[in-house]
């Protein structure tokens, strides 16, 4: 049995969407609505809108929309029932008993419980004779027992069945253990085998304190050196960060982005608790947006080797797109943060602080790296360097910032500043023209429906589909007009199936005395919910009239009876005659 409508209606009335969203997004009032930078994609101009009157949100940039439940699902990476629980707890409401039998939600809860028990098991094993070499390794990396305890570090025994046997003794089934990616089935399929064996274990904890995954460092020469939990119902690598649960509580709006677990832990032990790391993957835009929620500035602290420098270059563009200020740390002698701090002994924290304070911004870093590739004593190389440098400067939005680097470039290359400025303007015009062309293409695709993945029939029935959308939006804002609309047009009269289903749903909910938006996120997919809210966001509710409703209906009926070559080829002579008679009747 699904969550009752009355409960969802009460929940949404207590959880004002503006209050909830403002905890994640900096919102500014624009008329009756609120706007801000979208937390679901990278943007520099606010296109994320909150509509307090109907409790919804919609982003014109990425097309994501929904209600307060949808927002929490996306921002906290929760499924539907977990998002409802999250909001119910916030509102001080009790969940209805035995009202929702959600197999996926229950399995996710069991995965989290299994992970928590596994973390306890790994920690206990670290202080046994079997785990002594792992403990020795961690102590050898200058980690104290206090730090080991704080991060819950542990050891997975070399036996491939120790954890499985332990979890079974705690009541977990084989399916639950495998679903948590703590084990896998043996080749013969007869039993399950521990995923992690003879490894120092690093629990990965989310922002709510749940153990969602693990990283394991092998204690032998076997490969891979590091092994991480694969994606599960409770964990997605690309949208989580190691130790963000610690970093978010520092009160700072700066994060230090490291390559690995040990760097983060070493920095924490040295007093730099705002350090985080990706989880065995390259930095993603999702992780950058997650950092944006807790920081205004990110200091990249990757290794100085070739792989680290490539990762730095890639991270710069991702972090900039997320609207973050970037600085780059260059650690002396090409060492990583962990090794640098250890080599300086008691003075390690102070030495790292000096490196931190001397770090430059990403523009200086990119220009420095670029300069190393060219011999500017040669005219052709000087021109090539300036051309590439201008591309970096052109990407800056601030005119003041551009002027600063033009001046530096002019002095560095002994080239007239006015000439460099002229070339920059040409490049900027070309870049702007390319952006305008892309935006025009995007708008054209939106208007013609060719990229509509939800209503796939829209592109071939654009006039009918637009009228259907406008009728749906009209009824959402004017529930009292639903009986009149229903007398004139039924879902069977709609040309596109998605809109027909949506129209039928709206009529049913209105007849039950329930706002359609109350239950939409429960009964439709995330993409369908976003599509619904894109329809609402493009409708001018203030201009809605009874005459407009009639015009929408007339258009739909006219399009339904319009004979097209595709329709005619599938119709019998009797059907064609009937269609012509209906068309004549409607005219």
pTM: 0.78
Query: Angle between the 68-76 and 5-14 helix axes, to the nearest 10 degrees?
Result: 80
Note the pLDDT of residue 574: 64
Domain ranges of the chain: 5-91, 104-235, 244-366, 373-446, 459-586
- Residue 44: CB atoms within 10 Å: 11
> What is the C-alpha to C-alpha distance for residues 341 and 522, in angstroms, rounded to an integer?
51
At 289, list the tokens.
Answer: 């947006």
> What is the C-alpha to C-alpha distance for residues 112 and 133, in angstroms, rounded to an integer?
28
Does 442 score more than 70 pLDDT? no
| Measured distance between the N- and C-terminal CA atoms of the chain, rounded to whole angstroms | 47
**What letter does residue 361 receive in the DSSP assignment?**
E
pLDDT above 90 coverage of the chain, percent: 54
* Rg over CA atoms, the chain: 29
CATH entry 3.40.930.10 includes domain 459-586: no
Does 100 score more than 60 pLDDT? no
Do 104-235 and 244-366 have matching folds? no
Note the pLDDT of residue 149: 97
Would you place residue 12 in the very low, low, confident or very high pLDDT band (cuts 50, 70, 90)?
very high
> What is the C-alpha to C-alpha distance for residues 60 and 48, in angstroms, rounded to an integer?
7
- Please write the tens of the pLDDT for every residue from 125-145: 999 999 999 999 999 999 999
- Closest C-alpha among 254, 178, 249 to residue 208: 249
- Residue 404: CB atoms within 10 Å: 14
> What is the C-alpha to C-alpha distance for residues 110 and 120, in angstroms, rounded to an integer?
15
Which H/E stretch holds residue 325? Answer: strand 325-328
At the top level of CATH, which class does the domain 104-235 belong to? alpha beta
> What is the C-alpha to C-alpha distance for residues 331 and 518, in angstroms, rounded to an integer?
54
Show contacts of 484-491: CB within 8 Å, 24+ apart. 484/546, 484/549, 485/549, 485/553, 488/550, 488/553, 489/553, 489/556, 489/557
- Closest C-alpha among 127, 130, 121 to residue 167: 121
**What letter does residue 238 receive in the DSSP assignment?**
G
Which CATH architecture describes the domain 5-91? Answer: Alpha-Beta Complex (3.90)
Does 579 score more than 80 pLDDT? no
Which of residues 391 and 577 earns the better pLDDT score? 391
- Please write the tens of the pLDDT for every residue from 470-513: 999 999 999 999 999 999 999 999 999 999 999 999 999 999 98
Report helix, strand and coil shares of the chain as percent, to nearest 5. 55, 10, 30
Tell me the mean pLDDT in the region 321-338.
84
Q: Which residues pair with 200 in a beta bridge?
A: 155, 217
Q: At which residue do the structure tokens 């013969």 appear?
A: 188
Which CATH architecture describes the domain 244-366? Answer: 3-Layer(aba) Sandwich (3.40)
Tell me the mean pLDDT in the region 175-198.
93
CB 232 within 8 A of CB 240: no
CATH tag for 373-446 (out of 3.40.50, 1.10.287, 1.10.510, 1.20.50)? 1.20.50
- Closest C-alpha among 336, 339, 341 to residue 353: 341
Note the pLDDT of residue 575: 59
Note the pLDDT of residue 474: 94
Note the pLDDT of residue 309: 84
Would you place residue 310 in the very low, low, confident or very high pLDDT band (cuts 50, 70, 90)?
confident
As to burial, measured by CB atoms within 10 angstroms (0-12 exposed, 13-18 middle, 19+ buried), residue 81 is buried
- Closest C-alpha among 347, 346, 263, 262 to residue 300: 263
- Please write the tens of the pLDDT for every residue from 211-225: 999 999 999 988 899
Show contacts of 501-505: CB within 8 Å, 24+ apart. 502/472, 502/532, 503/468, 503/471, 503/472, 503/475
Would you place residue 148 in the very low, low, confident or very high pLDDT band (cuts 50, 70, 90)?
very high
Residue 497 to residues 322, 403, 500, 559, 583, Cα–Cα distance (Å):
37, 55, 5, 14, 21
Note the pLDDT of residue 565: 58
- Closest C-alpha among 518, 413, 541, 496 to residue 68: 518
> What is the C-alpha to C-alpha distance for residues 440 and 454, in angstroms, rounded to an integer?
22
């Amino acid at each position: 049995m699904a969550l009752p409508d009355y409960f969802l209606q009460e929940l949404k009335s207590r959880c004002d969407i503006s209050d909830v969203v403002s905890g994640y997004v900096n919102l500014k009032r624009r008329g009756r609505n609120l706007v801000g930078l979208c937390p679901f994609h990278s943007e520099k101009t606010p296109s994320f809108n909150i509509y307090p009157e109907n409790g919804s949100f919609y982003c014109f940039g990425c097309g994501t929309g929904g209600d307060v439940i949808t927002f929490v699902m996306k921002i906290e990476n929760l499924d539907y029932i977990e998002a409802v629980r999250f909001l119910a707890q916030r509102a001080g409401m009790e969940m209805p008993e035995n009202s929702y039998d959600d197999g996926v939600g229950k399995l996710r809860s069991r995965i989290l419980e299994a992970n928590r028990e596994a973390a306890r098991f790994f920690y206990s094993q670290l202080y046994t004779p079997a785990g002594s070499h792992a403990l020795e390794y961690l102590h050898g990396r200058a980690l104290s027992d206090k730090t080991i305890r704080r991060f819950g570090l542990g050891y997975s025994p070399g036996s491939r069945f120790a954890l499985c046997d332990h979890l079974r003794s705690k009541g977990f089934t084989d399916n639950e253990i495998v679903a948590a990616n703590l084990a896998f089935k043996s080749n013969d399929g007869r039993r399950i085998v521990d995923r992690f064996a003879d490894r120092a274990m690093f629990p990965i904890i989310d922002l709510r304190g749940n153990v969602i995954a693990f990283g394991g460092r092998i204690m032998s020469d076997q490969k891979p050196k590091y092994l991480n939990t694969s994606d599960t119902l409770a964990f997605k690598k690309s949208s989580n960060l190691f130790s963000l649960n610690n970093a978010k509580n520092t009160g700072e709006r700066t994060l230090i982005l490291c390559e690995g677990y040990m760097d983060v832990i070493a920095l924490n032990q040295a007093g730099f608790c705002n350090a985080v790391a990706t989880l065995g993957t390259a930095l993603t835009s999702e992780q950058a947006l997650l950092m944006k929620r807790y920081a205004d500035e990110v200091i990249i602290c990757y290794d100085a080797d070739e792989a680290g420098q490539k990762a730095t270059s890639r991270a710069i563009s991702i972090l900039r797109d997320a609207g973050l200020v970037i600085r780059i740390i260059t650690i002396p002698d090409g060492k990583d943060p962990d090794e640098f701090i250890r080599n300086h002994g008691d003075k390690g924290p102070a030495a790292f602080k000096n490196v931190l304070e001397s770090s430059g911004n990403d523009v200086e870093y990119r220009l420095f790296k670029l300069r190393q590739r060219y011999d500017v004593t040669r005219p052709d190389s000087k021109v090539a360097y300036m051309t590439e440098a201008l591309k970096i400067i052109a990407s800056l939005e601030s005119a003041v910032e551009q002027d600063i680097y033009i001046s530096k470039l002019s002095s560095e290359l002994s080239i007239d500043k006015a000439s460099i400025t002229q070339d920059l303007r040409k490049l900027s015009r070309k870049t702007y023209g390319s952006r305008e062309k892309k935006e025009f293409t995007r708008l054209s695709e939106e208007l013609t429906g060719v990229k509509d993945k939800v209503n796939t029939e829209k592109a071939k029935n654009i006039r009918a589909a637009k009228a259907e959308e406008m009728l749906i939006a009209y009824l959402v804002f004017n529930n009292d007009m639903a009986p009149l609309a229903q007398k004139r047009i039924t879902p069977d009269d709609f040309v596109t199936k998605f809109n027909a289903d949506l129209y039928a749903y709206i009529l049913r909910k209105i007849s039950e005395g329930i706002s359609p938006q109350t239950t939409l996120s429960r009964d439709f997919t995330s993409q369908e919910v976003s599509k619904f809210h894109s329809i609402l966001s493009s409708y001018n509710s203030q201009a809605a009239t009874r005459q407009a409703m009639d015009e929408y209906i007339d258009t739909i009926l006219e399009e339904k009876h319009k004979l097209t070559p595709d329709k005619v080829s599938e119709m019998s002579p009797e059907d064609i005659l009937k269609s012509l008679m209906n068309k004549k009747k409607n005219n």
